[in-house]
Structure formats: structure tokens, C-alpha cells
Chains A and B, each alone.
Chain A
Amino acid sequence: MRQKRRNHRFILLLLVFIVAFTACTTVSYKVPIGNYKEANTLVIENTRTIIKQANQVEREIYVDKQVRQHKPIDIKGIHTVELFSQDQLAARMKALDTIDAYGTLLLKIVNADAPQSIAETSGTVSKDVTNLLGMMAKLQGREDTDFKSAADPVAKLVSQVVGLAMKEEIREALNKAVEAGYEPMKKLIALLSEEVYGAYKRKRAQLLQKQRYLLDGYDAELKKGTSLREETLKRYAEQLKVELNKWEASAEANPDFMFDAMERAQVALLAYARSDKSQKDTDDFSYAMADYLARMKQVAASIKNLSPF
């Protein structure tokens, strides 16, 4: 009899442990996945901006060149220098929308066990079962204390088993989504990274072009000798200072920082999905996602400073 009671206690403890463990593993996903989604959104926003403005940069380079060489500005000529056609732009925007949706859906999975929907309902079910068993015990004329010791574990188990099933499903759904999304995400990141790097280099070429024209203007004014105008000279110098500062700042807006961090985040996500979800795994994953978000905030600020990017 005593042995039987011990076995019951052991099974009950085991079930409670499993429920608690599963709850921890889904909860441990929430903050890092939230960070992942936020960082992804920053990458997507900045990539959209850079791609959309890439054609603008080319048009400006072309117009400035025509002005300097005293050549006519040909609208056809403007379109030939643009980097993206409308169809190409649409394909990139669609890819970015799909990447954004992927992050949103991962976040929806981890939030599928919102407290109000599972814990509260489970708690209510647990109380309801306790009440029900209490009433049944009274009907049978049994003492309240007898009933309590029997009813409480049963009531807990009923709600926990349903809760456990849901948490297990959430974990499985998330692991599956991370595993399936890894390859297309990795390849799309590589494609975007290459093109955005190209657009970034064109922006830097434009900055160099501006510097060159200003240096030339300053030099031409200087060569006027006694007829040089002090104001004009100063204006060139002031504009040159601004351009040199922009050039220096542009080094921090290198999109490689952004895409390298995004790629590392994908690797960390996959590693965690495949891991045993030990405390170390969870800590490493949380750190990787927090680091990803911090880096993205930094790069996003640098890219914003690179107007018109």
C-alpha cells in the first residue's frame, strides 16, 4: 500500500516536472525570438530604403556628371544608369515581405501560449474539476479532507495534461519552422547582401565624385590668383568638410555588418532549435539574439545618417 502511494507520488512529481520543463523551453524562446523579429525588421527596413534609393543615387551621379562636362541631360540616359528595373524592385520587395512574414509567424508561434489562453484556462479547469470532485464526494457522504487529498492531484493533472500537449506542440512547431526556414533564409540573405553591398559602393562612389568636383572647384578658384573670391573659396571648403565627414561616417554604414549579423542569427536560431535546450543553450541563444538586435540598432542609425539612404 505504502509502495503504491510512493509510486503515485513519483508519477505525479514526474508529470509536474515535465510540465514545468516544457513551460520553461517555450518561455525561453519568447524574448530572444522577439529580439530576432525586431532586428529582422530593422534589416528589412534598411534594405528596402537602400534598394529603393539606389536608382536615385545613380540618377544624381549621372546628372552631376553631365553638368560638370557641360553635356545635355538625356532622360533615356538617366534610365540606362538605374540599377533596378521596376520588375526587379518588385521581386526584392516581395522577398523582403516574405522574410518579414517569417519572423512575424515565428513570434506568433511562441506567443501561442499567451498566459490568458493557457495558464488561466488550465487554472479554471483545475478549480472546476476540484469543485466537481468535491460535490461527488459529498454525494457519497465522504469527508472533505479525504476528498481534498484525492481531488487536488487529479484536478491538476487534467489541466496540466492538456496544457502539456499544447506546449509540446508549440515547441515542435517552432523547431520545424526554424529548420525549414533556414536554407531559403540563408540564401536570400546572401543575395540581398551582395546587391545591397553593390548599392552601398555606388553611394560611396557618389560621395567620392562630390569630393572630386569640390576639390576641382576649389582648385580652379585658387588658380584665379588675385581675382579669386574669398567667399567662393570658403564655400567650397565648407562643402568639402561636410562631404569628408559623410565619407568617414559611411564606413560605419557598411551593410555587410547588417547581413553578417543576420546570418549569424539564423545559425544561432537553428543551433538552438536542434539543441537539448539546456541552460547554457538558452543563455547562448538569448545572448546571440540580444547581440543581433544591438548591432542592428547601431547599423540602422549609421545608414539613416547616409542621406539619401
Chain B
Amino acid sequence: MTKKELLDIIESLLEAINSLYAKGPTEEEKKEMDDLAEGLDQAQNKLVKLMIRENDAEYVGLTEKLAAVNSQIKDDLTALEGLRKLLDEVKQGVELITAIVKLVGVAAAA
């Protein structure tokens, strides 16, 4: 049985207590139901706290692993930026050659 299933069972029991409450129990029965609900409530609270504590160590490792992936993506984005710059450089190179060819044309015409 998983912890999640246990949480569901506790909830079902709390629901059942509420149904009994709606039937107008005697003071003695009410006291018993209160005690039962209190116990279930505490058990559920402790179970969730246990789940959280058990996960603590895993969070650190997994967060670091995903942060490393993010860091790799940032490097790839920098490389893409480099390619974009290359495109700009090609553009500038073509403009420069165009200017030279223009000059050569002017010189030839003269």
C-alpha cells in the first residue's frame, strides 16, 4: 500500500465519522467519534510530514541535475548567438566587397 493510498483511507474514515455525526449521536458516542477523528487527523498529519522528510535528500540532487541541464541550454543559446553573429559578419563582408567593387568600377570608368 502506498502512502497516497493510506491518505485516501484516512480521508474515507473521516468522511464516515462525519456521516455518523449527521445522525445525531449521544454525547458519549460523540466523544468517541471526536477521539477517533483526532487520532486519524494526527496520523494523516504525521504521514504527510514523513513523506516530505523522505523526499528532502532527493530534491537537492534532482534540482542540481536540472540546473546543470539549464546551464547546458544557456551554453547552447550562446552558441546560437554566435551563429547569428556569423550571419551578421557575412552581411558586413558582402557590404565591404560591394564597396570595393564599386570603387573598382569608378576607377575603371575614369
- A residues sitting closer than 8 Å to B (CB atoms) are 58, 61, 65, 81, 83-84, 88, 91-92, 94-95, 98-99, 101-102, 105-106, 108-109, 112, 117-118, 121-122, 124-125, 128-129, 131-132, 135-136, 138-139, 158-159, 162-163, 165-166, 169-170, 173, 176-177, 180-181, 183-185, 187-188, 191, 194-195, 197-199, 201-202, 204-205, 208-209, 211-212, 215-216, 219, 222
Q: How far is the CB of B25 from chain A (nearest CB, A)?
A: 8
* Residue from the set B22, B51, B63, B104 with the largest chain A CB neighbour count within 10 Å: B63
Known contacts A91-B56, A132-B101: A166-B83 contact under CB 8 Å: yes
Given A125-B87, A199-B48, list of 14 further CB < 8 A pairs?
A61-B41, A88-B53, A95-B62, A118-B87, A121-B88, A121-B91, A128-B94, A166-B84, A173-B80, A176-B76, A177-B73, A181-B66, A191-B59, A202-B48
In the assembled complex, the Cα of A250 lies from the Cα of B103 at a distance in Å of 78
Is A188 in contact with B86, judged by CB distance below 8 angstroms? no
* Residue from the set A84, A135, A183 with the largest chain B CB neighbour count within 10 Å: A135
Is B84 in contact with A212, judged by CB distance below 8 angstroms? no
Known contacts A135-B101, A198-B7: A205-B14 contact under CB 8 Å: yes
Chain B positions 14 through 29: 1 when the CB is less than 8 Å from some CB of chain A, otherwise 0: 1101100110100000
Report 6 cross-chain contacts, Cβ distance below 8 Å, ordered by A residue.
A102-B66, A102-B70, A109-B77, A177-B72, A212-B37, A215-B18
Find chain B residues with CB under 8 A from A94 CB. 59, 63
Known contacts A177-B76, A202-B44: A125-B98 contact under CB 8 Å: no
Known contacts A121-B91, A139-B104, A208-B18: A83-B62 contact under CB 8 Å: no
Contact of B90 among A91, A125, A184, A219 (CB under 8 A): A125
Q: Total A-B residue pairs with C-beta atoms closer than 8 Å?
A: 185
In the assembled complex, the Cα of A297 lies from the Cα of B65 at a distance in Å of 29
Q: Which A-chain residue is minimally distant from B58 (CB atoms)?
A: A191
Q: Which A-chain residue is minimally distant from B89 (CB atoms)?
A: A162
Q: SS class of chain A's interface: helix, strand, loop or mixed?
A: helix
In the assembled complex, the Cα of A20 lies from the Cα of B41 at a distance in Å of 62
Known contacts A109-B77, A118-B84: A158-B90 contact under CB 8 Å: yes
Q: How far is the CB of B14 from chain A (nearest CB, A)?
A: 5
Q: How far is the CB of A57 from chain B (nearest CB, A)?
A: 10
Known contacts A112-B80, A135-B101, A215-B21: A184-B41 contact under CB 8 Å: no
Find chain A residues with CB under 8 A from B80 CB. 109, 112, 166, 169-170, 173
Q: SS class of chain B's interface: helix, strand, loop or mixed?
A: helix
Q: How far is the CB of B50 from chain A (nearest CB, A)?
A: 9
The contact size tier of chain B is 35 or more
Q: How far is the CB of B70 from chain A (nearest CB, A)?
A: 5
In the assembled complex, the Cα of A208 lies from the Cα of B63 at a distance in Å of 35
Find chain A residues with CB under 8 A from B53 CB. 88
Is A105 in contact with B77, judged by CB distance below 8 angstroms? yes
Q: Which A-chain residue is minimally distant from B73 (CB atoms)?
A: A105
Contact of B74 among A105, A128, A132 (CB under 8 A): A105
Q: How far is the CB of B31 from chain A (nearest CB, A)?
A: 11
* Residue from the set B7, B94, B98 with the largest chain A CB neighbour count within 10 Å: B94
In the assembled complex, the Cα of A183 lies from the Cα of B26 at a distance in Å of 55
Q: How far is the CB of A189 from chain B (nearest CB, A)?
A: 10
Is B101 in contact with A198, judged by CB distance below 8 angstroms? no
Among B31-76, those with CB < 8 Å from A are 37-38, 41, 44-45, 47-49, 51-53, 55-56, 58-60, 62-63, 65-67, 69-70, 72-74, 76
Is B91 in contact with A215, judged by CB distance below 8 angstroms? no
